[in-house]
Structure 1
């Protein structure tokens, strides 16, 4: 059975995509710790971080870095944080989020009541920052599509 992330990637469940390439996608979490909180997810179903081969880990790290730079530009944060936990979905993913301090980087700070319009607006800010940084070819044409641009 496919994971919820695979279902999002395949368009069976809606997603807010900001990045797509042949190896990975990036989409908004529905429970952000901070505005602009994104998930970097491989297209392949890899159960957890330690199961991934080195090339995949390296690719995801580079994508996370570019998304983090876009988040800093879009939200004015001094840092971009990367968290790897993987307890909520058994499909490797990196949490990348704008960060102002270490105290706020806790999953119990996640907000589960963010209106769809706010999630859309935050994703659009990251999408625009990625375009401005020269990554327009990796930004899907539509927010709700994981198709390569």
Structure 2
């Protein structure tokens, strides 16, 4: 860090999953929004690392219950530390799994973290998506198919569960 006054702060990780990808991205994104130089370490004897680098923050592998120590230097250092420690105290704004169900978070270029939900119509053999021209005839076909299926099930039961 450059010459000047260095201030420090600390916060305990209460997020149950620790400082994993999503919280690390949130922390570094917030750190990058300040002009101050910021660094952090895990525990009193940990190695200092750049708080604006996702890769370096992830490399800390900080579990829940550990204390993160921060140092900042620059024109907005106090504001930066206040905001960052508050983010840690708020569990990195991690809500419940249900609250995050449709939220994605970019971790780095080419890498995303989130949930994907694909909605599509099921494919059904023999169904072309059109309505039946003759519902009574379709009903007879359905009843015939159900009767054949019932016979096959009865044969399976009587043959001990194997079908020739």
**What TM-score, normalized by structure 1, do the two folds share?**
0.26
Higher relative contact order (CA 8 A, sep 6+): 1
Report which of the two structures shows the higher radius of gyration computed on alpha carbons: 2
